Amino acid sequence: MSSDSKSKSVVPAHVAIIMDGNGRWARQRGLPRIKGHEKGSESVRAIVKACRNAGVKYLTLYAFSVENWIRPKTEINALMRLLDRFLRNEEHELHENRVRLRVIGRREDLPSRLDEKLREVEARTRQYEDGNLILALSYGGRTELVKACRTIAQRVKDGELSPDEIDEDTVSANLYAPDIPDPDLLIRTSGELRVSNFLLWQISYAEFYVTDVLWPDFREPEFKEALADFSKRRRRFGDVK
Ligand code: FPP
């Protein structure tokens, strides 16, 4: 894309995605659910690349929710293996494109070997600033807010903070990744009109884009459509303009 045509569209700095529909994609083909997740991993790779091509600086993916632990053990294990494989196969891409990996969520719930590997890749990509891939793992928006409340309450108890000093910045500063700007665009695939406990605090002013396309079929052309739609939105942030 030439810099001229790029300047005409507004590119979101931060895109967050609820990747939904892997199971349905598999069912439609008479395949086991895990095949949908495998194909969904390919979409992850494609969308990380699409972000780089479009100039999106932050991409947050809802890869596993706190609620997902109730799924059958075989599916959970398969998802953890796919994450492991993703790290092994894609780390070089992160280095080549200077993309920093981050994890948000209750990482203490993750298998310790996977968490270790995630920490290693996070450490090895820490210095990069061209792009940021944030994986939400064992993530829940309410859990994140409860954690922030506890930390703030402790600071009040310790006499470091008075209750009337608590403002929105105090809450933001106690989230999993306080330095990451709020998402500008929230995409959900597979047509469901739900937020599903994702980034509850951070999406206050995000533009919402829902597509019927199932996550395994969501690739760069579909992503570009979402960006084009975003570019047409008039964000008012409560103002009248
Ligand atoms: C939702 O589809 C998807 C998930 C719960 C997991 C997302 C995981 C991946 C795309 C693969 C691994 C991730 C990375 C980052 C490599 P669903 O199973 O709820 O679909 P359904 O609603 O159609 O059943």
- Specify if 52 maps to a domain: yes
* Cα of 34 from ligand 1 centre, angstroms: 9
Within-domain flag for 118 = yes
Is residue 216 within 6 Å of ligand 1 at its C-beta? Answer: no
| pLDDT, tens digit, 9 for 90 and up, residues 71-112 | 999 999 999 999 999 999 999 999 999 999 999 999 999 999
Q: Catalytic pick from 4, 20, 169, 182?
A: 20
Alpha-carbon dihedral 115, 118, 120, 126, rounded to 10 degrees: -130
Model confidence over 12-35: pLDDT tens digits? Answer: 999 999 999 999 999 999 999 999
The span from the CA of 186 to the CA of 179, in Å, is 18
Asked if residue 91 belongs to a domain, the reply is yes
* Under-70 pLDDT residues of the chain: 1-8, 241
Number of structural domains found in the chain: 1
176 in a structural domain: no
Would you say residue 163 lies in a domain? no
Q: How far is the CA of 22 from the centre of ligand 1 (A)?
A: 5
Say how many Å lie between the CA of residue 118 and the centre of ligand 1. 18
Contact 101, 135 (CB under 8 A): yes
Domain assignment of residue 67, given as a range: 12-140+183-231
The burial of 104, by beta-carbon neighbours within 10 Å (0-12 exposed, 13-18 middle, 19 or more buried), is given as buried
By CB atoms closer than 10 A (0-12, 13-18, 19+), residue 146 is exposed
pTM: 0.95
Q: What is the CATH number of the domain that holds 107?
A: 3.40.1180.10
Q: Is 20 a catalytic residue?
A: yes
